[in-house]
Amino acid sequence: QRKGAPEVILGATKETAQIIAMAHGLLLSTGRAIISRLRPDSIAPLQKEFQAYTVRTLEAARAMVIYSPDYQRKSTGGQVGVISAGTSDIPMAEEAKLIAEEMGCTVTTIYDVGVAGLHRLLAPLRDLLTSGVDVIIVAAGMDGALPSVVAGLSPVPVIGLPTSIGYGLGGNGVAALLSMLQTCAPGLSVVNIDNGVGAGITAALVANRVAQAREHQSQ
Amino acid sequence: QRKGAPEVILGATKETAQIIAMAHGLLLSTGRAIISRLRPDSIAPLQKEFQAYTVRTLEAARAMVIYSPDYQRKSTGGQVGVISAGTSDIPMAEEAKLIAEEMGCTVTTIYDVGVAGLHRLLAPLRDLLTSGVDVIIVAAGMDGALPSVVAGLSPVPVIGLPTSIGYGLGGNGVAALLSMLQTCAPGLSVVNIDNGVGAGITAALVANRVAQAREHQSQ
Amino acid sequence: QRKGAPEVILGATKETAQIIAMAHGLLLSTGRAIISRLRPDSIAPLQKEFQAYTVRTLEAARAMVIYSPDYQRKSTGGQVGVISAGTSDIPMAEEAKLIAEEMGCTVTTIYDVGVAGLHRLLAPLRDLLTSGVDVIIVAAGMDGALPSVVAGLSPVPVIGLPTSIGYGLGGNGVAALLSMLQTCAPGLSVVNIDNGVGAGITAALVANRVAQAREHQSQ
Amino acid sequence: QRKGAPEVILGATKETAQIIAMAHGLLLSTGRAIISRLRPDSIAPLQKEFQAYTVRTLEAARAMVIYSPDYQRKSTGGQVGVISAGTSDIPMAEEAKLIAEEMGCTVTTIYDVGVAGLHRLLAPLRDLLTSGVDVIIVAAGMDGALPSVVAGLSPVPVIGLPTSIGYGLGGNGVAALLSMLQTCAPGLSVVNIDNGVGAGITAALVANRVAQAREHQSQ
Amino acid sequence: QRKGAPEVILGATKETAQIIAMAHGLLLSTGRAIISRLRPDSIAPLQKEFQAYTVRTLEAARAMVIYSPDYQRKSTGGQVGVISAGTSDIPMAEEAKLIAEEMGCTVTTIYDVGVAGLHRLLAPLRDLLTSGVDVIIVAAGMDGALPSVVAGLSPVPVIGLPTSIGYGLGGNGVAALLSMLQTCAPGLSVVNIDNGVGAGITAALVANRVAQAREHQSQ
Amino acid sequence: QRKGAPEVILGATKETAQIIAMAHGLLLSTGRAIISRLRPDSIAPLQKEFQAYTVRTLEAARAMVIYSPDYQRKSTGGQVGVISAGTSDIPMAEEAKLIAEEMGCTVTTIYDVGVAGLHRLLAPLRDLLTSGVDVIIVAAGMDGALPSVVAGLSPVPVIGLPTSIGYGLGGNGVAALLSMLQTCAPGLSVVNIDNGVGAGITAALVANRVAQAREHQSQ
Amino acid sequence: QRKGAPEVILGATKETAQIIAMAHGLLLSTGRAIISRLRPDSIAPLQKEFQAYTVRTLEAARAMVIYSPDYQRKSTGGQVGVISAGTSDIPMAEEAKLIAEEMGCTVTTIYDVGVAGLHRLLAPLRDLLTSGVDVIIVAAGMDGALPSVVAGLSPVPVIGLPTSIGYGLGGNGVAALLSMLQTCAPGLSVVNIDNGVGAGITAALVANRVAQAREHQSQ
Amino acid sequence: QRKGAPEVILGATKETAQIIAMAHGLLLSTGRAIISRLRPDSIAPLQKEFQAYTVRTLEAARAMVIYSPDYQRKSTGGQVGVISAGTSDIPMAEEAKLIAEEMGCTVTTIYDVGVAGLHRLLAPLRDLLTSGVDVIIVAAGMDGALPSVVAGLSPVPVIGLPTSIGYGLGGNGVAALLSMLQTCAPGLSVVNIDNGVGAGITAALVANRVAQAREHQSQ
Ligand SMILES: Nc1ncnc2c1ncn2[C@@H]1O[C@H](COP(=O)(O)O)[C@@H](O)[C@H]1O
Ligand SMILES: Nc1ncnc2c1ncn2[C@@H]1O[C@H](COP(=O)(O)O)[C@@H](O)[C@H]1O
Ligand SMILES: Nc1ncnc2c1ncn2[C@@H]1O[C@H](COP(=O)(O)O)[C@@H](O)[C@H]1O
Ligand SMILES: Nc1ncnc2c1ncn2[C@@H]1O[C@H](COP(=O)(O)O)[C@@H](O)[C@H]1O
Ligand SMILES: [Mg+2]
Ligand SMILES: [Mg+2]
Ligand SMILES: [Mg+2]
Ligand SMILES: [Mg+2]
Ligand SMILES: [Mg+2]
Ligand SMILES: [Mg+2]
Ligand SMILES: [Mg+2]
Ligand SMILES: [Mg+2]
């Protein structure tokens, strides 16, 4: 739990038995186990194994959090915004949200705006900025244009989360990632395609550092 | 001059002597020679060779048109809009404009808007659409987001012209082209990176067909 | 329904329940729901859900249109031609045709010509052009040579629709797309691999604008 | 100057005359003009044109800042660390530093550590973290391993700045960028290859937001 | 068995019947058959066919060795170290270990260290080097940074074994391989992604040559 | 001179002194030296060195042949056709022609047809086939469509020679090569981009084998 | 059946019903239907449909030929050699052999040599050349080195057939194809990865042309 | 000088002044400075600066070694073989040789064999192996086939050094590197394209470890 970032078990390349063993280890040491990119066939065995625990499953995001009965998540006061371009990007956005929440942040979401419907973005984005958000994650696939648009309109750092939505040349998130790397908008950095975990951790690190400075202030 | 599209001499891979010979051929048969992607060292010899002709040179766009003394360009009534995202995209936009003009269209330009400055786009785009434009070319490099934005706001076909602006991964127009291919906006088709000639011909074919229908009407 | 282009639900990355909800939304607001790239397992549940509606299913093209009982499609007078190189390209050609029809165009098809059989192309293409077609879509995979050939023979704009047919290096439509981008033929613009929806919308926007000009004339 | 990020003129794709005109514009409106990626032949004419101004030139970083005589840079209190893996990465690190300074941050540098010499990194990194740095930029080419190492050791967000150092497969910064995207370390986000401007702006946005919270506290 | 390297049957692209026939051939000529990259459905039939033999199966590594009843593996005295970055890299590390053992080496493993946990690496690596290891294989996926770190700390040759762990751009081992090729650390050579067989053979050739020199000495 | 194919000195990666030495060697052993891909600065020194010899220079093709005073080229009776799509492809076509001639074939050329002008191809191709050509080389860049068209119309083997003509995505011959590899036309094999030497040797081997069979007949 | 090359139905992208219809068409017009790249689920229905016909199935090569009861294959006298590097390449080699046989050639095979066992190649290759073979196809995956070796040793044209064998970077036949394109050996041309049909047709065209010349002779 | 590998200054990305400073530093601390990939314009100034020193310049290999007057290179007894495929690969082979020599090894070279001339390889390779070489470096460009052939014939580890020789697809060493990674031959590991330094260090580490074991023996 160095730097406040929880260890996350990457489920996709592990046997269910391995995941269970690692989860027990994390529950013992930290009271919580977060698993990402679960293969569908691992979900039921995990839920059975951890019946006695509190289990939070995000099926679409292929993520699961298991809490010891006495686990208490601390709130840091960090404020994170998560925006998704389309409905297909929501699972990755939810993965990022989950991580930021597990790191103590309050997360506000704006889902299913998208470049073709900029009018659907402007009012909620204004509200989000007014509410004092510290950092914004924008999940987008296909042309990946939304993060640039948001970065062009926001005075806070923006983290681009390209998603593997889209087919043909530049599909599976490649065009989205490349166009975020090529952005003309200021203050946009990126993580890899579908890496909601990475986007969530980075956003939470930013928000928690700001929150910590605020907190010192209010003391 | 099949289909109203003029033959264009691609200068980059030809010797100056070859270009001169081909230009004389086209001047004889059609009264006009258009040369694109001229190497800098070909410009002066061509201007010298065709002193007795009317010569139009677009240095930044590396293009030249040579007219026989008695050449008369016919106006078709086709209306083409050309938008560029940044100042660096203007040479490619100008190449497209030149071709559309040579095919008889009237061309209106909006240069140096760009995603980071959407407010700079909205008013002139509204004017362009109100003026009855038939088709719009949008030149953009780097993230190539502008054509999608324009296509999302316009009821006419849009042709994306990716430009070789941008460095790093996805640079030289690759991200721009891929994100145009991945667009979520309706009615956007594309030509290759820096292919202003192709964009201009396609736009003029569309505009001239509409103009022809309009003309029949007014008879 | 901005610019006359219908919203199309991309089925591949959505849960069936999500698709159903979105389709109900579109039926309420516009009387019609178009779904593309349906996963096979979504088809039956959708047909069951919308038993009371008129449902048009194109299984090979993985597309479906659901109409409210009182939906009336308006004819615009736009004329679109759709050509496919091989039999394997027909599903993508059909997707493009479906969209152009839903946008009010009359669509004429020439299927299964192909470069190896140019003689099978020439007569039907001549008929198509004589009939007054406004724009032509050409679907082709493997070497993707057909759109260039058609563009070289036709006085109207051509939209290249590369298809994911072909294996080995340049397979899955990559060589087809690249060779369309590199075309020497005038007036060819392209959409992404298998993007029949995009080709159909672009073609219909062109054809409908021409038709509108014609219509004004005949009034 | 939306969001505190200054407009930066990208010199590489512009004529010197264009750069001069844009610089005059920025000097008039904001009292300062920042130019990045200057072509060598633009430097002397710019220095000549702006003799009457204060000019800061970073030749290796190909960057220049021109200040109006009365320009006053405000200090925000934001603390940014900049680390470079090798001596060849220093120009890009310097570009990032320049931007962060122009945005009011105090920048501390650690240059020429590198994975092969981890022992050269540990002590200065500990000092940097103890001094209360808010965010760290790590510039690295070739294998790009350093940003992951730093992110694994630091409780603040880290921005990976891949540099175009390295030849052969994965050269010109490609391996560096890919391995940063594939990082196992928490809290690392990236910008494009050689994009010191982007890294600097992102870091300064983070640091300035933290500083602002601190400042409110100290009031 | 030229050069002491056993022939290894690549199972993935062969029919089970073909594998059985080839295994019988090798058992006859050398007393041992090694099969790598077995498809899951080949395992049971092979175990059934070779019931009368000693069979060693490494399911995760998809490898199998079949020994004639009287087969005696000779120990060479070569010392090989095998390190894996994460738990997901263990199967490929195990494949390499198996081959080195079958070539007579003694293999010592250090599993599941990783760049994010350098502290978990240092002590066991020191022990490994002190024990007189002749060559080290390092298996790593994702960013592939570990082999460079090990090569920077070890006075023996290091063989990088990139693994197909990781998703998004540079996933499936591509970033890992590229960053190993771009290493700044001395004495690191690489084999292809997931090629545990190649890494094992190369390491054993090195270790066995050193062991042979040692042996001559002790005679 | 194994298999009737002359050794060819690849000039591009050699010092002029090295080329001269190798040429002297070949002149001594075979009476002829062929050099391809000469750097421009090597031409004059070579011409000077071999003043006493017969020297044939193809500047555009960057090729040179040096003959001993008594060298006699034998004619084999093999018939090769060489077709180029555009004028820019002629240098590569000429390189192929040179090699086939040096291998004793008679070469007939059809230059500057191209897909956009199929009508310019049909008559000369019919003549070429009627004349009894044994094999045809087709040089084409950009979309590389011409070799497929020729292969579809010809009863003899066709060798595709992609050329590095074309810019943007798929430029430098990549799209041309890929579309030749993806051809639907029967009997088309390819060599690498700009490899006129390889195309010439392959064509001459085919033609000479046919000629040899013919010759046996006429005896 | 232009140029003696039979039409081949590409099964992979077609419905079984479509294949049956096309096969009936070819049987009617030519007395024979050849189908390549059959999906496994198409085989049984096809065998059932054509019970009354002579059916030749090559399961590993995914190929089938159906003959009308009275079909007579004519022998041309063309001599084709087919060599495979490994056992995994045999299916593609068999596909090529089938086509060459259907075009009337006599085919001699040398299977499972390979670079690591050059000694296994030399004697049978000498025999093959002595027997008067007209052209050789070499199928090879992974490093694709064998075709170059064969071309270096043979006085007849060689056709490289890269196969999709191999994993990791350059896998699926990519390295094999690229190294054949980069060959230093004279007289090697290539077809696409796994394109046994293309290799077979090209080889048969060469062999049949030679055979025709031989035949004229013996008259 | 960790692990016996000297630090090497990478000249390509450094100013001459920087190189001079770093060289002085290395001369002071170790008595020797090795510089690789020197830009041509750095050579003369370096030779002038270090007139008082012993300077070894390999112009083709772009390498330089500067020795303090009293520097004594120790011989380790390690035996390294270096083979080059063509004459164009010699500079990279020489770079590897230089490094291995500077690390105390005796280096034997076999230059300009190549796959097309296997007969030129066999005798000298047999001599090299008989002489007791410990490890072999094979430099090869274009198809990169030679290292696999050597690895198939040698009982010692082989290090593949792909060189940037070759044009077209897979050119600049890409096909060479990929085909080495895809090798079927046992005991071949690789370094990046043109990385003679890396090949030399790896080979010397192997040879020196063997030599050390031998030495212990002879004491
Ligand atoms: N979805 C994810 N994407 C990227 N990294 C992850 C993800 N889930 C876990 N990780 C990180 O990847 C590493 C997994 O290593 P291991 O579980 O040992 O194979 C840990 O550092 C995790 O924090
Ligand atoms: N333009 C060319 N393209 C491809 N191969 C060539 C070319 N010119 C020469 N070669 C061959 O490449 C090899 C050159 O080897 P070397 O000259 O020793 O580097 C010889 O086998 C030549 O026949
Ligand atoms: N295995 C194959 N590889 C390459 N081309 C093929 C293969 N099988 C058939 N073809 C050709 O591909 C084309 C298929 O077109 P169609 O069957 O109409 O989609 C025809 O020209 C066939 O001759
Ligand atoms: N030609 C070369 N290829 C690969 N690495 C090199 C080469 N020359 C020097 N190096 C290494 O690359 C690093 C150069 O770092 P620097 O000189 O600080 O930019 C050092 O670790 C050198 O040992
Ligand atoms: Mg998006
Ligand atoms: Mg743009
Ligand atoms: Mg096609
Ligand atoms: Mg680095
Ligand atoms: Mg790793
Ligand atoms: Mg062409
Ligand atoms: Mg092979
Ligand atoms: Mg070679």
Nearest CA to ligand 4 atom 20: E184
Give the pLDDT of residue E119.
Answer: 75
Distance from C-alpha of H42 to C-alpha of E160, rounded to nearest angstrom = 34
What would the mean pLDDT of B201-212 be, rounded to a whole number? 97
> How do residues H54-82 score in pLDDT, each as one tens digit?
999 999 999 999 999 999 999 999 999 99
Residue C116 confidence (pLDDT):
59
pLDDT at A204 over 90: yes
Residue with tokens 């001395």: E186
Q: What pLDDT is attached to residue D216?
A: 74
3-state helix, strand, coil in chain C (%, to 5): 45, 20, 35
Treating both helix axes as pointing N-terminal to C-terminal, what angle do G118-130 and G146-153 enclose, rounded to 10 degrees? 40
Q: What is the pLDDT of residue B135?
A: 98
Residue D151 corresponds to which tokens in the numbers above?
A: 């992110």
Q: Is the CB of E181 under 6 A from ligand 1?
A: no
Confidence of residue A2 (pLDDT cuts 50, 70, 90): very low
* pLDDT tens, residue by residue, B181-201: 999 899 999 999 999 999 999
Neighbours of A219 (CB within 10 A): 6
For ligand 1, atom 13: residue with the closest CA: D184
Q: Summarize pLDDT for E28-71 with one digit per residue, the tens.
A: 999 999 999 999 999 999 999 999 999 999 999 999 999 999 99
Write down the ipTM of this complex: 0.95
Which pLDDT score, from 0 to 100, does residue H1 have? 39
Contacts of B15 in chain F (CB under 8 A): 60
Mean pLDDT of all residues belonging to chain B: 94
Inform me whether the pLDDT recorded for D144 exceeds 80.
yes
In order of A87, A126, C35, E75, G116, the CA distances from A114 in angstroms are 9, 15, 19, 65, 56
Name beta bridge partners: E56: E65
Contact between H184 and G114 using a beta-carbon 8 Å cutoff: yes
User: What pLDDT, on the 0 to 100 scale, is given for residue H216?
Assistant: 74
Which residues have CB under 6 Å of ligand 3?
C 86-88, 116; F 184; G 7-10, 36-37, 195, 197-198
Please report how many Cα atoms fall inside a 13 Å half-sphere around the Cα of residue C162, on the Cβ side.
35
Asked whether residue G21 carries a pLDDT value surpassing 70, the answer given is yes
Specify the pLDDT at position F2: 47
pLDDT at F115 exceeding the cut of 90: no
Q: Do A149 and B176 touch (CB under 8 A)?
A: no
Contact A195 E170 (CB under 8 A): no
CB contact under 8 A, H169 and G181: yes
Q: Tens of pLDDT along A102-130?
A: 999 999 999 988 655 677 898 999 999 99
Gyration radius from chain C CA atoms: 18
d(CA G205, CA G202): 5
Return the residue matching tokens 């042709």: B159
- pLDDT band with cut points at 50, 70 and 90 for residue E176: very high
In this model, does residue H116 exceed pLDDT 70? no
Letter for the amino acid at E53? Y
Q: pLDDT band at B173, cuts 50/70/90?
A: very high
Residue F117: the pLDDT is: 64
Which of H1, H192, H197 to substitute to test the interface with D, most D CBs within 10 Å?
H192
Q: How confident is the model at residue A218 (pLDDT cuts 50, 70, 90)?
A: low
Please name which of C25, C70, C22 lies closest in space to residue C42, comparing C-alpha atoms.
Answer: C22
As a whole number, mean pLDDT of residues H36-65 equals 96
pLDDT of residue E135: 98
Are the CB atoms for E97 and E197 separated by under 8 Å? no
Strands A106-110 vs A63-67: parallel, antiparallel or unpaired: unpaired
> How far is residue C88's CA from residue F139's CA, in Å, rounded to a whole number?
29
Average pLDDT of the residues in H200-217: 93
- The pLDDT score that the predictor gives to residue F217 is 62
Q: Could you tell me what percent of chain A has a pLDDT over 90? A: 89
Residue D117, pLDDT score: 64
DSSP state of C204: H
Q: What is the pLDDT of residue G219?
A: 55
Q: How many angstroms separate the CA atoms of G17 and G15, rounded?
A: 5
**What does the pLDDT read at residue G1?**
39
Residues 6+ positions from C70 with CB-CB distance below 8 Å: C31
G2-67: which CATH topology?
Answer: Translation Initiation Factor IF3 (3.30.110)
> Residues of chain B with pLDDT > 70: what percent?
95
**Given a cut of 70, is residue B47 above it in pLDDT?**
yes
User: What CATH number has the domain spanning E79-213?
Assistant: 3.40.50.1970
Name residues whose C-beta falls within 8 Å of residue A11's C-beta, 6 or more positions apart in sequence. Answer: A19, A35, A36, A37, A38, A39, A42, A62
Residue B1 clears pLDDT 60, i.e. is over it? no
Exposed e or buried b per residue across B1-22, where buried means at least 16 C-beta atoms within 10 angstroms of its C-beta: eebbbbbbbbbebbebebbbeb
* Residue A1 reports pLDDT greater than 50: no
Nearest to G63 by CA among G104, G91, G30: G91
Integer angstrom CA distances of residue F143 from C164, F85, F174: 17, 10, 9
Q: What is the DSSP string of G28-88?
A: HHHSEEEEES--HHHHHHHHHHTTTSEEEEETTTTEEEEE-TT--PPP---EEEEEESSGG
| CA distances, A132 to each of A44, C159, D181, D205 (Å) | 40, 47, 29, 14
- HSE (CB half, 13 Å, CA atoms) of B60? 16
Q: How many CB pairs under 8 A join C and G?
A: 28
How far is Cα B134 from Cα C134, in angstroms, rounded to an integer? 14
Chain G within 8 Å of E13 (Cβ-Cβ)?
yes
Residues of C in contact with A87 (CB under 8 A): 14, 18, 22
G217 has a pLDDT exceeding 50:
yes
pLDDT at H38 over 70: yes
SS (H, E, C) H145-202: CHHHHHHHHCCCCEEEEECCCCCCCCCCCHHHHHHHHCCCCCCEEECCCCCHHHHHHH
Domain coordinates of chain G in residue numbers?
2-67, 79-213
Q: How far apart are CA B68 and CA B33, in angstroms?
A: 9
What digits encode the pLDDT tens for the residues A188-198? 999 999 999 99
Ligand number nearest CA of A150 is 5
Mean pLDDT of H83-101: 96
Inform me whether the pLDDT recorded for H92 exceeds 90: yes
Res. E132: pLDDT tops 50: yes
When computed from its CA atoms, the radius of gyration of chain A, rounded to whole angstroms, is: 18
pLDDT confidence of E218, banded at 50, 70, 90? low
- Euclidean distance between CA atoms D50 and D31, whole angstroms: 13
DSSP A31: S
Neighbours of H25 (CB within 10 A): 13
Task: Calculate how far, in angstroms, residue D16's C-alpha sits from the geometric centre of ligand 6.
Answer: 21
Cβ-contact C91, C165 below 8 angstroms: no
| Dist. CA H145 → ligand 12 center (Å) | 5
- The tens digit of pLDDT for each residue in D85-135 reads 999 999 999 999 999 999 999 999 999 886 566 778 989 999 999 999 999
CA–CA gap between residue F89 and residue F82 (Å, rounded)? 11
Helix (H, G, I), strand (E, B) or coil at B76: coil
User: For position H3, what pLDDT does the model report?
Assistant: 59
For F11-134, list the strands marked E by DSSP.
32-36, 54-58, 63-67, 79-84, 106-110
CA distance B143 to B166: 8
Both tokens of residue B21?
């010979």
What distance in Å separates residue C186's CA from the closest CA in chain G? 29
- Residues in chain C where the model's pLDDT stays below 50: 1-2
Give the pLDDT score at H205. 97
Nearest CA distance, A193 vs chain E (angstrom):
5
Does residue G65 have a pLDDT over 80?
yes
What is the average pLDDT across H39-50?
A: 97
Chain E CB contacts of D112 below 8 Å: none
Q: How far is D44 from chain H, CA to nearest CA, in Å?
A: 20
The mean pLDDT of B159-183, rounded to a whole number, is: 98
Residues with CB under 6 A from ligand 4: D 86-88, 116; E 184; H 7-10, 36-37, 195, 197-198
Q: What pLDDT is attached to residue A11?
A: 96
Q: Are D194 and A193 in contact (CB under 8 A)?
A: no
Pick among C13, C95, C190, C193 to test the A interface (most A CBs inside 10 A): C13
Phi first, then psi: give them for residue A78, nearest 5 degrees.
Answer: -65, 140
For chain E, percent of residues with pLDDT exceeding 90:
88
> Which carries the bigger pLDDT value, residue C67 or residue A2?
C67
